Amino acid sequence: MKLTAEISMYPFNENYLDPIQWFIGRVDSYDNIQRVTNAMATQVCGEYADVMSMLAIEMQAAHQKWGKAVFVCKFIGGELDLAHSE
């Protein structure tokens, strides 16, 4: 089963761009997960277990490296076309 998720990271850090860019770079290292980023959030799509595993690993890594951060996630079962825009 496929899963599409939207993730926003809000680091408790004055230099908030570095942690966000670091997180997006880490997400990019997963060849089995499609990623699109815009000014507000990052959308990812892949196999359900792969997406959830990636999020668990990378959110923990972000907290360990950067300290406090809020992650806001929305999930929809299935595969959405991340290239779609209106």
In the predicted structure, residue 8 carries a pLDDT above the cut 90: yes
Q: Are 44 and 5 in contact (CB under 8 A)?
A: yes
Q: Judge whether 58 lies within some domain.
A: yes
At 56, list the tokens. 């668990």
Helix (H) or strand (E) holding 75: strand 69-77
Q: Judge whether 12 lies within some domain.
A: yes
- pLDDT tens, residue by residue, 67-84: 999 999 999 999 888 887
Model-level pTM? 0.89
Number of domains in the chain: 1
Q: Judge whether 13 lies within some domain.
A: yes
* Helix, strand, coil fractions of the chain, as percent rounded to 5: 35, 35, 30
Q: Judge whether 82 lies within some domain.
A: no
Q: What is the pLDDT of residue 81?
A: 82
Q: How far apart are CA 49 and CA 66, in angstroms?
A: 25
Q: Judge whether 85 lies within some domain.
A: no
Q: Are 68 and 75 in contact (CB under 8 A)?
A: no
Domain at 67, CATH number: 3.30.70.930
Q: What is the pLDDT of residue 42?
A: 95
Structural domain harbouring 22:
2-77
Q: Judge whether 8 lies within some domain.
A: yes
- pLDDT tens, residue by residue, 37-46: 988 899 999 9
Q: What is the pLDDT of residue 44?
A: 97
